[in-house]
Amino acid sequence: MIDLVIRRAHVVDGTGRDGFEADIAIEGGLIVEVGRVAGTGREELDAHGLLATPGFVDIHTHYDGQASWTDRLTPSSWHGVTTAVMGNCGVGFAPCRPGDHERLVNLMAGVEDIPEVVMAEGVPWLWESFPEYLDFLGERRFDIDLAGYVPHAALRLFVMGKRACDLEPANATDCERMAGLLKEALRAGALGLGTSQTINHKSSDGTPIPTLRAAEAELLALALAMRDAGRGVFQYVTDLQDPDRIEEQFRVLERLAERSGRPVTFTVTQQHANPGNWSRLLDWTAAAQRKGLAMSAQIYPRAVGVILGHELSLNPFFSTPTYQKLAALDFDARIRELHVPAIRDRILAEKLDPNPGSLLGLRVANYDEIYPLGDPPDYEPLPETSIARQAASRGLDPAEFAYDLMLEDGGRTLLYMATANYAARDLEMCGDAMRHEGGVIGLGDGGAHLGSICDASYPTFMLTHWVRDRRRGARLKLEFAVEAMTRRTARVVGLNDRGVLAPGYRADVNLIDFAELRLGKPFIARDLPCGGRRLLQQAQGYVATIVNGAVVYREGVATGALPGRLVRGPRESQAGA
């Protein structure tokens, strides 16, 4: 008998070819047959009328801490993700000397909006080196698979100490030591190296990320370490905003790929101040690919946005003096105070702090790019639904309109601020970027920005909005969208054993009621260590999610199975494809 047989599914196999009806046989955690399966399964799932896809592979997450204290990598696993890659943007928790725990916690708190108390309580610090960190994770069990990059900021701090935090250049000895530790980590199973050179990445005390000014020589030393090891992906994020400098910055990455022969993947967004930069970067990436270089530009399939609310990290009034005095109150008490007319008048009369410890500063009050989120959430809002336009149509001040709107629904009305990828007030740019040969989907950020975003829900958004429901422009073909989240992302990071429904591949499968697939409204949960808060978002329509041949979720409810494991290093399909 066969371990599991899925019967009569509409299979979209991750290759981009047209879907077809078939059975899927699974044995020993692998797909062994796709077609008309004659054998009987120990367990059989009737998938008639359901869509079967490979499990989604999310290559940009930050579960470095969460994976150390829980066995469920939610919310990603609620949205069909079966493999997550962490260690992006150069932040993480290994390697780390005991005296530097607080530095790395503060860095993760500042860069990724994870409360320090959550990490101080939750991260057990049972390691020092990166291989020891992998060994710790290797003993754990998860609902999905997990792989990780070596975080460059942690590596630099480990080697250079305070000099790294002071942004001093690495000398030849520093580079040699970092390269040696990186090779050691790659041999132990690291997928590569993640780094950041953006001014937006700062510790909770405002100090820049230690990698901000790392010179090309340092980056090259690390890329060459991957060449010498014969494995590894170089993941990179920087600002790429100045039109006069973006080509120079891109050419650095191109030289790294050329000199090392290793894949280079980097983040691209459409900055509203320079809305054409993204297309230049993707064109250069595609040209590099045609020269044989393994380069890819990670793009997000909707606006890079921030959710604003009274329970969240940000709202249009969060840094006014009067609102700050209310911040220590519990939620219900704060909402009662916000209803008091005198308090309302004071807050509306006060100015925001332009440097409130938030990178967004005054932008949270730019009502032209802030919209009601709604339920179901609207991630491609019409221009006339902006807070500014709605207020004008009512003859109101936009701040007053936003203030009163956010007190509706018991103070839980959410607003959506589209900070990037929305310069034209639609998602055409995202569609063009996804169709571009240089682009690949990334930036889900699962496990991070817990008080301001829930972008890990993007797989559900891709299928509902881009494939089924979009009204403001062209949609994507289902087969294209599935390939974009499975085989294409898996190959970027060398996980070639998954992302396709074919014999010899990993038995990671989603069974989806496509007609009933829905993305829920984001909500607050306090399920982190010390009762920490995070923004979550669920979906309906995932009938079953299968990882390594075991059903981990049925109709969105956990089965108790934890077949997910740490993935060490690149993987090849047993089919040889």
Tell me the pLDDT tens digit for each residue of 125-158.
999 999 999 999 999 999 999 999 999 999 999 9
* Residue 313 sits in the same domain as residue 291: no
Residue 482's closest CA among 10, 9, 11, 14?
14
State the Cα–Cα distance between residues 115 and 96, nearest whole angstrom.
19
State the Cα–Cα distance between residues 332 and 322, nearest whole angstrom.
17
* Residue 267 sits in the same domain as residue 210: yes
* Residue 39 sits in the same domain as residue 88: no
Give a yes or no: residue 567 inside a domain.
Answer: no
Q: Provide the b/e sequence for 518-543 (b: ≥16 CB within 10 Å).
A: ebbebebeeebbeebbbbbbbbebbb
Position 359 scores a pLDDT of: 65
Position 426 scores a pLDDT of: 98
Give a yes or no: residue 436 inside a domain.
Answer: yes
State the Cα–Cα distance between residues 271 and 277, nearest whole angstrom.
8
* Residue 218 sits in the same domain as residue 178: yes
Band of residue 281 on the pLDDT scale cut at 50, 70, 90: very high
Evaluate if residue 102 carries a pLDDT over 70.
yes
* Residue 439 sits in the same domain as residue 545: no
Range of the domain at 105: 57-303+423-492
Domain CATH number, residue 473:
3.20.20.140
Domain CATH number, residue 516:
2.30.40.10
Residue 506 token pair: 């990993």
Give a yes or no: residue 441 inside a domain.
Answer: yes
Evaluate if residue 576 carries a pLDDT over 60.
no
Band of residue 354 on the pLDDT scale cut at 50, 70, 90: confident
| Number of Cβ within a 10 Å radius of residue 16 | 16
State the Cα–Cα distance between residues 110 and 108, nearest whole angstrom.
5
Position 577 scores a pLDDT of: 45
Would you report the helix, strand and coil content of the chain in percent, each value rounded to 5? 35, 20, 40
Give a yes or no: residue 190 inside a domain.
Answer: yes
Band of residue 448 on the pLDDT scale cut at 50, 70, 90: very high
Evaluate if residue 120 carries a pLDDT over 70.
yes
Q: What's the mean pLDDT in 155-176?
A: 97
Q: What's the mean pLDDT in 44-62?
A: 98
Give a yes or no: residue 210 inside a domain.
Answer: yes
State the Cα–Cα distance between residues 49 and 131, nearest whole angstrom.
45
Q: Provide, rounded to the nearest whole percent, the portion of the chain with pLDDT above 90.
A: 92
Position 361 scores a pLDDT of: 72
* Residue 370 sits in the same domain as residue 408: yes
Q: Are 531 and 562 in contact (CB under 8 A)?
A: no
Evaluate if residue 253 carries a pLDDT over 60.
yes
What separation, in Å, do the N-terminal and C-terminal C-alpha atoms of the chain show?
Answer: 26
Position 200 scores a pLDDT of: 85
pLDDT tens, position by position, 488-541: 999 999 999 999 999 999 999 999 999 999 999 999 999 999 999 999 999 999
* Residue 431 sits in the same domain as residue 532: no
* Residue 488 sits in the same domain as residue 401: no
The total of structural domains in the chain comes to 3
Q: How far is CA 317 from the centre of its chain?
A: 27
Residue 449 token pair: 């920005």
* Residue 266 sits in the same domain as residue 242: yes
* Residue 483 sits in the same domain as residue 467: yes
Give a yes or no: residue 252 inside a domain.
Answer: yes
